[in-house]
Amino acid sequence: MTASNRRPRPLPTSKECRGQFEQEVTRLMDRLYGTALRLARNPDDAEDVVAETVSNAWRKLDQLDDLAHMEGWLFRILHHTFVSHWRRRQCRQEKEVDIEPEDNDIRFSLFEKLHQPFLLWWGAPEKEFVNALLHEDIQNAIDNLPDGYRVVIVLVEVEGYSYEEASGLLDLPLGTIRSRVSRARTLLQKALWSQGQDAGLAKCCGQPSGTSSGGDL
């Protein structure tokens, strides 16, 4: 990046800039809202987070080097905005995540539940299962995760944060992020499994409970 090919920064108050800003915000609205909703879980809170994000972004617009980078920048502001809301709430709620009891079958794996190595003629039940999952199934499963796990998994799996970035944003040790990501995935897969069973998605693979408790092959 040399100085010569850097475009002049538009004035944040100019009409043209406001138009571009609005256009970009409008274009990204479904993702901004969807992400806020996955993080906050509650639609009213999600709307507030998006509104505050847009207002914060406008205030900080002069910190953006190029309007072409607005997408990533807006999402970072959204994450920060959410996290500061969330911290305030967590202080009041006495960290539910830390008192969450450890589940005994920590190694639950959807793949192991579904995969049938000896039934090659059957095709791939695990693929069918994933394909049959509805958007709402996945949303429900995420929304029902305990707060601390949900936020970490959304940042890592939906938003593509590295563990280190998530650790910085949430102000949590790297090891905590690592274990929460892993635990969140287990909980998520368990939830999808039981939702899938309720919906009759996995009837071909419902094993008698005695054979599946350990999860090891």
Partner 1 sequence: MSESRISCEEVVQRLFEYMDRELDSYTSAEIQRHLERCHDCFSRAEFERQLRERVARSGQQEAPERLRHRIREMIERF
Binding positions for partner 1, rule: CB under 8 A: 18, 21-22, 25-26, 29-35, 37-38, 43, 47, 50-51, 54-55, 58, 110-111, 114-115, 117, 124, 126-127, 130, 133, 135, 138-139, 142, 153-154, 156-160, 162-163, 178, 181-182, 185, 188-189, 192
Give the separation between CA 148 and CA 208, rounded to whole angstroms.
Answer: 33
Contact (Cβ atoms closer than 8 angstroms) between residue 114 and residue 125? yes
- Using a 10 angstrom Cβ sphere, with 0-12 exposed, 13-18 middle and 19 or more buried, the burial of residue 71 is middle
Minimum CB separation of residue 158 from partner 1 in Å reads 4
21 vs 86, beta carbon nearer partner 1 = 21
95 vs 127, beta carbon nearer partner 1 = 127
Contact (Cβ atoms closer than 8 angstroms) between residue 211 and residue 103? no
Q: Helix (H, G, I), strand (E, B), or coil: what is residue 42?
A: coil
130 vs 172, beta carbon nearer partner 1 = 130
Percentages helix, strand, coil for the chain (3-state, rounded to 5) are 70, 0, 30
Minimum CB separation of residue 149 from partner 1 in Å reads 13
Minimum CB separation of residue 7 from partner 1 in Å reads 22
Give the separation between CA 184 and CA 154, rounded to whole angstroms.
Answer: 10
Minimum CB separation of residue 51 from partner 1 in Å reads 6
